[in-house]
Chain A
């Protein structure tokens, strides 16, 4: 299945666009998307990942932050959320 992943915060400095597209198995879970994102960023920037940003980030859809084992199929508004600092 095709997954569109919106990026925010510090990830905007690492990718040229506001979202990324991944092809993953139909039963893919958040941990698979996390791994795919690490590979993608590493391909863009060899040093990407050294800061641990992907590991410290959460994944969410438009409704909630997702557990690592949450299935991705059918979810709308998937996004990777680096550590937050509103206010």
Chain B
């Protein structure tokens, strides 16, 4: 993994503090972060938890590719942290942590937004919502198809 870049898929609780420490630096005036959490309502259904399924090897490769693309667009000086949870979370649980450090805030915001949007469309990750009525359903997503 390139210096200043951390990417991981984890079944352990994600740490926002670790992410902020990693991307902080004496030359960075601030850090920008995105922290995704399980919400209690989706499309009118009361949610009690979400299970995340991940194709680890391909997802990690994709994360590294995305962080490389972010540096190519917004500079090699970006420090980047990208972790996604795998397994089941209750409402409020943290599913993803993205943190970006750089001297310029515009680069930070744009890179952070780029990473979360691209992950939603390109990373091999799936959500199964568990509802209070006992039902469960896989969330409709974005097709990866190249055919």
Contacts and interface: CB of A to CB of B under 8 A. Distances in A.
B interface bracket (residues with beta carbon within 8 Å of A):
20 to 34
B126 interface: yes
Contact of B141 (A67, A68, A85): A85
Contacts of B123: 84, 86
A28 B145 CA distance: 18
Given A56-B145, A79-B58, A87 B138 contact: no
A9 B144 CA distance: 13
Interface string A23-34: 000000011000
Contact of B142 (A6, A79, A84): A84
B105 interface: no
Contact of A9 (B53, B95, B147): B53
Contacts of B36: 87
A85 B61 contact: no
B147 A83 contact: no
Contacts of B84: 86-87
Contacts of B142: 83-85
Contacts of A74: none
Interface string A61-87: 011111110000000010101111111
Interface string B11-54: 00000000000000000000000001000000000000000111
